[in-house]
């Protein structure tokens, strides 16, 4: 069955992950052109929006009305969330009309960065059920009254802060809360101490799905159509969120949607890089994104030219920890 996210009907069930330093508007377009059904900005600190921090606001780079785009926020509590959403709405009506292109809001409960956990945000909130409920309800209430064209609100979780929380299955009560308030839940099947090289626990996605009345999107180690088939079979997930697979090759979405190979030809790669550069320039993408993708395209090219080692490893990012 086709994936639905609230009122949104993505063209495919394959969602581009929010990725810090990676997911700028030009990269989102490239992935969408290859078949991604929905895309997200990198995670954005709600407090920076409330404080009108210029460089935080620049991360809401939803300039491209064609590419379905949501904003991912991380928050410490429901007051901060409500204030940030009100600010987004006010700016959409005045100085930032492109905020009207945002059609979904996601909350991050997965970032393992010590700075995020220290302020009590991200995965630190997973076991705080009353707080989570208040945050989910604030998001729902805003969705019901906002003048922005928001089709879906949801959250992306990990399986816990650490192994103990995973064993306690702190992720299970979250779907009960989400069933009543959110339009979907993304489950990244690792706890926050796990590295991306660690095997995800997909069985937890199946446990969540078994209790879900909303779509569940599985995340973790989907690199090929065969992985997606297995994820769907083993967990019943309604869709897959893809991060490193898309960094490795945005054409993964072409393969997942059955429209062609997961690797580009040389000509496709050249055209995509030129397209990325032109759009990133036109939209004023920050240098951190442009530098990341220069390196990404270089690695893809090295792979096509038969230098697998140069093409396989990935630049480091703290989210991979």
Ligand X SMILES: Cc1cc2nc3c(=O)[nH]c(=O)nc-3n(C[C@H](O)[C@H](O)[C@H](O)COP(=O)(O)O)c2cc1C
Other C-beta atoms within 10 Å of 244: how many?
19
C-alpha to C-alpha distance for 199 and 201, rounded to whole angstroms: 7
Q: Give Cβ neighbours of residue 38 (< 8 Å, ≥ 6 apart).
A: 5, 8, 10, 15, 16, 68, 69, 70, 104
- Name the segment binding ligand X (CB under 6 A); options: 91-99, 218-226, 268-276, 296-304: 218-226
List the one residue from 17, 39, 235, 273 that touches ligand X (CB under 6 A): 17
User: Got the DSSP string for 261-276?
Assistant: -SS--HHHHHHHHHHH
The token duo for 159 is: 């399986």
Please give the size of the binding site for ligand X, defined by CB under 6 A. 26
Nearest CA to 315 out of 305, 299, 302 is that of 299
Q: Is 31 one of the catalytic residues?
A: no
Q: How far is the CB of 240 from ligand X (least distance, A)?
A: 8
What angle, 0 to 180 degrees and rounded to 10, lies between the N-to-C axes of helices 287-304 and 266-283?
180
Given candidates 10, 20, 105, 231, which one binds ligand X under the rule CB under 6 A?
A: 20
Min. distance of Cβ 36 from ligand X in angstroms? 12
Choose between 188 and 299: whose C-beta lies nearer to ligand X: 188
Catalytic residue among 92, 111, 138, 192: 111
Nearest to 123 by CA among 207, 13, 81, 115: 115
Determine if 68 is a binding residue for ligand X (CB under 6 A): no
For ligand X, give the closer residue by CB, 93 or 234: 234
For residue 168, give both structure tokens.
Answer: 């306690």
Which of 30, 46, 166, 222 lies at the binding interface for ligand X (CB under 6 A)? 222
Q: Is the CB of 243 or the CB of 255 nearer to ligand X?
A: 243
Q: Verify binding: residue 181, ligand X, rule CB under 6 A.
A: no
Closest CA to 18 of 86, 96, 107, 137: 107
Nearer to ligand X, 80 or 221 (CB): 221
The answer to whether 196 contacts ligand X (rule: CB under 6 A) is: yes
Is residue 108 part of the contact set for ligand X (CB under 6 A)? yes
Which of 29, 188, 293, 303 contacts ligand X by CB under 6 A? 188
Is 93 or 253 the residue whose CB approaches ligand X more closely? 253
CA angle 58/33/286 to nearest 5° reads 20
Q: Does 242 bind ligand X (CB under 6 A)?
A: yes
Among the candidate windows 29-37, 239-247, 251-259, 301-309, which touches ligand X by CB under 6 A? 239-247
Find the angle CA(162)-CA(165)-CA(168) to the nearest 5 degrees. 150
Instruction: Please pick, from the candidates 165, 221, 227, 238, the single residue that binds ligand X as defined by CB under 6 A.
Output: 221
User: What is the sign of the dihedral through the CA atoms of 87, 125, 113 and 201?
Assistant: negative
Q: Is 319 in the site for ligand X (CB under 6 A)?
A: yes
Task: Please identify, using beta-carbon distances, which residue of 38 and 90 lies nearer to ligand X.
Answer: 38
CA proximity to 37, closest of 196, 210, 259, 202: 259
CA gap 91, 230 in Å, rounded: 43
Query: Which residues sit at the interface with ligand X, rule CB under 6 A?
Result: 17-22, 42-43, 72, 108, 110-111, 156, 188, 196, 219-222, 242-245, 317, 319-320
Residues with a known catalytic role: 111
């Amino acid at each position: 069955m086709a994936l639905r996210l609230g009122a949104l009907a993505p063209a495919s069930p394959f969602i581009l992950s929010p990725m810090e330093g990676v997911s700028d508007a030009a990269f989102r377009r490239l992935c969408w052109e290859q078949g991604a059904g929905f895309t997200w900005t990198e995670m954005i600190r709600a407090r920076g929006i409330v404080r009108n921090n210029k460089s935080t606001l620049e991360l809401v780079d939803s300039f491209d009305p064609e590419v379905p785009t949501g904003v991912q926020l991380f928050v410490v509590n429901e007051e901060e969330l409500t204030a940030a959403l009100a600010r987004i709405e006010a700016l959409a009506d005045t100085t930032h009309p492109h905020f009207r292109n945002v059609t979904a809001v996601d909350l991050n409960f997965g970032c393992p960065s010590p700075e995020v956990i220290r302020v009590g945000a991200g995965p630190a909130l997973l076991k705080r059920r009353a707080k989570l409920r208040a945050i989910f309800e604030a998001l729902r209430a805003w969705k019901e009254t906002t003048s922005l064209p928001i089709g879906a609100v949801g959250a992306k979780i990990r399986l816990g802060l650490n192994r103990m929380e995973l064993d306690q299955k702190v992720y299970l009560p979250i779907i009960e809360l989400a069933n009543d308030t959110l339009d979907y839940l993304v489950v990244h099947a690792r706890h926050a101490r796990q590295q991306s090289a660690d095997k995800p626990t997909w069985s937890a996605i199946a446990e969540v799905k078994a209790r879900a009345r909303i779509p569940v999107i599985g995340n973790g180690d989907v690199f090929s159509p065969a992985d997606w088939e297995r994820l769907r079979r083993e967990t019943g997930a309604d869709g897959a969120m893809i991060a490193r697979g898309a960094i490795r090759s945005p054409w993964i979405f072409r393969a997942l949607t059955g429209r062609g190979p997961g690797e580009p030809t040389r000509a496709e790669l050249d055209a995509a890089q030129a397209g990325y550069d032109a759009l990133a320039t036109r939209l004023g993408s920050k240098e951190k994104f442009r530098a990341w993708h220069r390196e990404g395209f270089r690695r893809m090219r090295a792979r096509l030219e038969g230098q697998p080692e140069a093409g396989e490893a990935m630049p480091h990012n703290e989210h991979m920890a």
